[in-house]
Structure 1
Amino acid sequence: MATIVFAVLIAASLVLAVLAKKGHHSTNVRDFFIASRQFGGFLVFFLSVGEIYSIATIIGFSGLIYAKGVYGIWYLGYFVLASAVAYFVNPLIWRAGKLYDAVTIADLFKGHFKNRPGARALELTVTISAITFLIPWGQLQFGGLLVALGGLGWHISPAVLVIFAAALALAYVVIAGIRAPAYVAILKDILLVAAVIITGGAALAQTHLTTIFHAGTPMVSSHLTAPQLRFSMSTIAFQAIGFFMLPFNTQNLFTAKSEQTIRRMQMFMPLYMMMFPFLVIVAYYELGTHVHLSGPNGAFMAAATQMLPSWVLGIVVAGASLTGLLVLAGTSLAIGPLVTRNLFGHVPEQKQRSVAQLVIVLYLVLSIVLTLVAPGLLTTILNTAFFGITQFFPGMLAIMFFRRAKPLAIAAGIIVGDVLSVAFFVLKVPTHDFNIGAVCLLINAAILIGGSLLTGRQQVMPVALRGAAVMPAAGD
């Protein structure tokens, strides 16, 4: 029964993808990748949440609490702070996207510093860095999908399951571009929230809340040490300012009709935090039952499998799977135009969509191969992905506020920040328990500011001083 329910819900998601295309048959590259900036707050909200609350939320957070106990609570802090940062920063990112007719994050830097010395070098720096650190994002989704699909009890090789997942993600992309993830995200969010609340509620139905925590607490640390506190606080701040630097999150913002659409959407984003108490309950329930798991990431699905009837388990697996599939589709839609518009800027615009689809196929194939053949290499890159992507933040602030920012200074800061982040992680360079990425971000910012102030007085009007690109649409 679980498999039947799962299959019906996945089929429903494909129907939604087809409906998303209705009335939008244009081959325009902007319509395919950013919906011609036509989305209202409703669709932008679900599209953005679809990327934020991914399979790492439902699988990874429960696993973090299962493995680390109270230490894993830092994960909550960065979500809360990120919502506050995004309320002020994201509308300005949208404004810059509108001013420079941007489709990708690299387009922002290209448009802002157009015809300035070093503009092309900066564009390539952002593009190559974005692609490099997005490649392992596919492995993260595939890994989570394997855990989720394991709840169905299928005796199928991981290679087949990964190919199945990639085919579904590709189908969403090919059918309707960015519109497909936006529409499917509505179904996904309903299933995701239901899956978490149902599983957490089932754990509470088994025993009392106090019993769950009394049984689980002895299995993990129940207090924070000073080093853990330093790491937690620096990580919360670092990831909060960097989360919306992920290229697919930036691209999602470009789909909105106005700055007001972005602000209104951000106000409601924290509502999804209601899921986290249930995820904590599930993790502690698993700790208290003393069930042997092959790894902490299996905590949520193990609890769902133990407690839920088969048809409800199908809903849970579908919700968890769709979270991974939508991020996989979103990542593909980000990498495609980065290659066609920025890496190889000579691709004619009328051909960018078809070429980008080919790039997406190659990206998914590469992700599958690396996931199966070289998981160790991808794990290293994945562990540093957030370190690298967040290095765009000083440059983004420079576009918004810093008149004297120089393209080469921004590029140098990003390169140094990326290289040092990876080097510090691989070589285990001590940072006195502070987040490695945060330390490298400060070095990046110092290079940007120092290099810009020491190299001439040429100025570019910051985006924040240009005023809103368009007024909010009536009824938006």
Structure 2
Amino acid sequence: MKLLVFGVIMMTSLALAYYARIKRRHDTLSEFFVAERSFASLLFFFLAVGEIYSIGTLVGFPGGIYAGGATYAVWFMGYILLAYPIGYFINPLIWRAGKQYQSETGPDLLQSHFNSKGLGILAAISGLVFIIPWGQLQFAGLEVVLHAFKVSLSPMMTLSLAGLLALIYIVLSGMRAVAMVAVLKDIFMILGIIIIGSAAWFAAHGAGAIFTQLIVSRKAAVVVPAHAVPFVLSTIVFQAMGFYASPFGLQYVFTARSSRAVAKAQVFMPLYMLMYVFLIIAAFFAVLHIPGLAKAPDLAIIMASAHLLPGWLQGVVVAGAALSAIVVLTGLSLTVSAIVSKNVLRQLIKPGASEQQIKRWAQVVVGVYLGISLLLTVLAPHLMLNLINTAYYGFTQFFPAILAVLFWPRATAIGVGTGLIVGDIIALSLYFAHVLPWGLNLGLIALLGNFIVTVGVSLLTRAQQAKKEVVA
């Protein structure tokens, strides 16, 4: 029965992707990459939160609590909550900048604003270095879920079908398909979380009973140790600034119909945090009642589901988890294809490429990207572990460049590009040297260096560049 429920939900997602193809306006590059900036606040809302709440929410968050206790929960929830008000003020301005320059990717925006082909290529390469492993992360999470679900197919076959599904979404209707399937994904993800959290609540006779047992038997799980506070707080601040600076986050903002649609969607995004109540209850239930997952904590929510729910409801939970991975994977693939085809291949190989040529390149890049991510997940699952861990370090280094576009007319392409390079170098150097200055998140130190270099070099080179008209 659970396989039947899972299969029906997956087929429904394909039907939605085909429906999105019918609803598309034109067969243009803008339609393919950003849906011709046509999404009203509701559809943009589902697309944006679809990227935020991935399989890391449904699987990684409970797994982190199982392994790290309350410290992980405070960090994970804290940076998202702080990011929302930042996004409320910043994202409508980013949309206005994208509209002004007709940008479809983050590198498009920087290249057009600073009139610098070199900065556009630098931003593209820097973004790709940190975004490419994110696809492997989605495949890895999906592998965990389907393995625990006891799917009879081999890991290669199962993940290949997931990758094929993502490819079909994109070929059918590009970004419009991602948004439509994101609606279905959110319905089943939230439904699955509420079901498993409620089941844990009733099985343990209330949340109070769960936390009473934890305080008595595993007090460390519900306490944030004093020595971890500086790192947790600095990480919350750092990642909140990078939350909307990722290449895929910028591209999603460009899909909205207006800056007002973006602002309206941002107002309601914090409501999704209510589902963390159910996730926390389910995670701590697993800590108490499902021992033996110390080496595989990401199985916590799936094992709790198997322990508490009948088969068909397990199918709902796993379908929500699978769609969470596949939708994010599809959006990532579209972002990678847009950056590679528009900001790398066209700029370096064929500047006069037509829209149809770029679209064909993009579809090929999607297939290549999915194939590489799949092979790395199956054959070398730990090869990109370090880059996955450092992804946020790289994403957040774009934050000074975005602020320069929006607020600082004296910023120069040389200053922004140099700051981006210095920030990436500092972050990677500190990470591989295993250094945590003053117990703070090393990414925050790198970001500070990025800001200082961006401002300093821009002031030294501002005579070479005319004053820019900023968006804000």
Superposition map of 1:3-402 within 5 A: 3-24=3-24, 26-72=26-72, 73-114=74-115, 119-208=116-205, 209-217=207-215, 218-219=217-218, 220-293=220-293, 294-344=295-345, 345=347, 346=351, 347-402=353-408
Letter in 2 for 1:88: F
1:290 CA drift (Å): 4.1
Contact 1:37–1:254 (Cα < 8 Å) also in 2 = yes
1:424 aligns with one of 430, 453, 456: 430
Q: Report which stretch shifted further, 215-224 or 13-22.
A: 215-224
Report Cα offsets for 1:267-321 as digits up to 9, x if no partner.
Answer: 0000100110111111110111142224111111110111111111111111111
**Please, what TM-score do these two structures have when normalized by structure 2?**
0.95
How far apart are residue 185 of structure 1 and its match? Answer: 1.1
Aligned-pair identity (%): 42
What is the alpha-carbon distance in structure 1 between the residues aligned to residue 190 and residue 148 of structure 2? 18
Flag the 1:273–1:403 CA change in 2: closer, same or farther, 3 A. same
SS at match of 2:152: coil
- Kindly tell me the number of residue pairs found equivalent between the two proteins: 461
CA contact (8 A) 1:151 1:305 kept: no
Q: Is the 8 A contact 2:64 2:298 kept in 1?
A: yes
CA distance in structure 1 between the aligned counterparts of 2:180 and 2:53, rounded to whole angstroms: 16
> In structure 2, what residue type is equivalent to 1:296?
P
Give yes or no for contact 2:25–2:31 (8 Å, CA) kept in 1: no
Which amino acid is 1:378 matched to?
M
Residues of 2 paired with 1:358 and 1:377: CA distance? 24
Write the distance in 2 (CA, Å) between the matches of 1:159 and 1:134.
22
Cα distance in 1 between the residues matched to 2:388 and 2:231 = 19
User: What is the identity, as a one-letter code, of the residue corresponding to 1:214?
Assistant: T
Aligned-residue offset at 1:211? 2.1
Determine if contact 2:46/2:186 at 8 Å carries over to the other structure.
Answer: yes
Q: Give me the whole-angstrom Cα distance separating, in 2, the residues matched to 1:137 and 1:172.
A: 19
How large is the RMSD of aligned CA atoms in angstroms?
Answer: 1.3
Distance 1:91 1:463 in 2: 14
Query: Structure 2 counterpart of 1:230, which letter?
Result: P
In structure 1, distance between residues paired with 2:234 and 2:197:
30
- Equivalents in 2 of 1:314, 1:240: separation in Å? 34
Question: 3-state DSSP class of the match of 1:245?
Answer: coil
1:437 is the counterpart of 2:443: yes
Native 8 Å contact 2:50 2:327 kept in 1:
yes
Q: Deviations over 1:339-361 (max 9, x none)?
A: 11111222332311111000111
Give how far 1:13 is off: 0.5
Residue 471 of structure 2 aligns with which residue?
A: 464
- 1:455 aligned to 2:468? no
Please state whether the residue corresponding to 1:178 is helix, strand or coil: helix
Asked if the contact 2:414–2:461 (Cα under 8 Å) also holds between the matched residues in 1, the reply is no
1: CA distance, partners of 2:369 / 2:21: 23
1:74, distance to aligned residue in structure 2 (A):
1.5
Judge conservation of contact 2:63–2:299 (CA < 8 Å) in 1: yes
Contact 2:397–2:447, Cα closer than 8 Å, also in 1: yes
Match of residue 469 from structure 1: none
Deviations 1:166-224 (A, max 9, x none): 11111111111001111111111111111001000000111222221233454443322
Q: Secondary structure at the match of 1:175?
A: helix
Report if the CA contact (8 A) 1:151-1:317 is conserved. Answer: no
Letter of the 1:359 counterpart: V
Q: SS at the partner of 1:103?
A: coil
CA shift in 2, pair 1:161/1:215, >3 Å:
farther
